[in-house]
Amino acid sequence: MQNESGKNDMYVILTGGPGGGKSAILEALRDRGYLCVDEVARDLIKEEVTAGGDALPWRNREKFRDNMFHEQLKVYESIDHDGIIFFDRGLIDCLAYSRLIGSEIPEEMDQISINTQFNKIVFVTPPWEEIYRNDEERKQSFQEAIETYNQIVAAYQEYGYETVDLPKVSVEQRVEFILERLSIQ
């Protein structure tokens, strides 16, 4: 389904800094029968570590960003689904990451991000220290999670999206909030 400006209303992004509860929300949406696309970064990190590569956020940040962007784009382009789809992050997250690491945004990424549209409402999990946890792929501090959140919100807004912070409530209440805001049940 396309909106009047030709942009895809059925592709909904859930984003935010690391550790804000995105994965749990997406799992609850899956349990309700919605198609959800996982974040590509975790798989890329696992693959790079296994292969002994350097395209990792703690080794070669720009190479990691490039891989993340192109993999996310491949996923977007491969979707063949008539219903609503929830994405764990979008292309603009990679642009926010560029800013976070102090890197220029490549022109190609900028143009692709402008032309590859999602629903104009982007749901954001704000930093929430009580649920924040580190693991093998998430090595950022909570302060870095806050900085990431700030860059993500700024980038999406610059590209014309409306960012909506999710309330710090239960997973089910967050899911209800999203569905109500999108006017779907």
Domain parsing of the chain, residue ranges = 11-181
What is the residue-level pLDDT of the chain in tens, covering all 185 positions? Answer: 333 334 488 999 999 987 788 989 999 999 999 999 988 877 888 887 888 887 777 788 888 898 889 999 999 888 888 889 999 999 999 999 999 999 999 999 999 999 998 999 999 999 877 765 655 555 567 778 789 899 999 999 999 999 999 999 999 999 999 999 998 74
Q: Name which of 62, 150, 73 is nearest 106 in CA terms.
A: 62
pLDDT value, residue 139: 59
Select from 119, 95, 136 the least CA-distant residue to 184. 119
Which residue in 160, 151, 149, 72 sits closest to 109, CA to CA? 72
- 11-181 — its CATH code? 3.40.50.300
